[in-house]
Chain A
Amino acid sequence: MTSVDKAQWIDMYRRLEKPLYNVVYRVIWDSAESQDVVQETFLRCWRRKDDIRADGFKALLFRTAVNLASNRRRRARLWRVVGVEVLDEIVDESASQHAFSKPMRDALDSLPADWRDVLLLTELAGMTYPEIAAALGIAEGTVGSRRTRALAQLRERLDVQGVVIA
């Protein structure tokens, strides 16, 4: 790896860490884990750098991040099932750091994963419908319909739970 190559990847990381972190955080609700997932995302893309097409890079980056985050979430749930409660404590501590109440997190967590992924990419990644469609391998029309349904269900859940958002 040349120093120029490394400097460019670090520059891309600096510019894109925040939107990726924001998406990943809403899946696993832990700041340190989220940052680790973002770094792992970049490392995986770096390993495949000879095969990456520039026009597909953004889609690859966010798809990898969402997949890695979903895998970590599944793993955490599995640990919870077998009785490792310490993970719950980690999540709660991290959530309070960013001031998200449990009902708010539960409302987002209750969405089907397909809908949640679309919603996070539209609201937090600043991606267009065609970019999201490419990232998730779905039709552009599906992006719009999933976003609409996800927002409707989210509002309904928040109303039912009586969540007051400052």
Chain B
Amino acid sequence: MNTDALFKDLEPPPGGAERFAQRLDEVAAEQPSSRARVLAMAAATAGVAIVTAILLLRPPEDASQVEIAATEPPTVDVYNAPELDRLLWRSSVPAELMVTVNMQPANVTEIETTNQKVRIYQIN
């Protein structure tokens, strides 16, 4: 029995992206309050840590700046990441090949092949 009909491509109902944009706005509008709570908790934690550090360890003067910097979340540019090129149907830019041997950069020569999907390199 052919199962292809079960997996035929279906079109989602129209207007999905517009509705998603609306919901994104709604969720984003709710964000500040929860984010403020998280920041307040982080600031309080950092404050306690700083006071404790000052009392117990007598750290250098810029310790408080280090604590505050550590609370900033890392930002990742997911959209522009090369890992998503194939997923989002973008043409990929080939990355430069880097090879290290015994922790030293090595010279690499590409050897020609008849198969376009295969790359063979020689380490010099």
* Interface, chain A (partner B; CB < 8 A): 1, 6, 8-18, 21-22, 25-26, 31-32, 34-35, 38-39, 42-43, 46-47, 49-55, 57-58, 98, 100, 104, 107-108, 123-124, 151, 154-155, 158-159, 163, 165-166
Contacts and interface: CB of A to CB of B under 8 A. Distances in A.
Contact of A50 (B12, B17, B74): B74
Interface in B12-45: 12-13, 16-17, 19-21, 23-25, 27-28, 31
Interface size band for B = 35 or more
A10 B23 CA distance: 11
Given A22-B9, A55-B81, A108-B6, A6 B76 contact: no
A124 B4 CA distance: 11
19 contacts: A6-B21, A6-B25, A8-B79, A10-B17, A10-B20, A12-B79, A16-B87, A16-B88, A18-B11, A22-B9, A32-B13, A39-B19, A49-B78, A57-B83, A57-B84, A108-B6, A124-B7, A163-B1, A165-B1
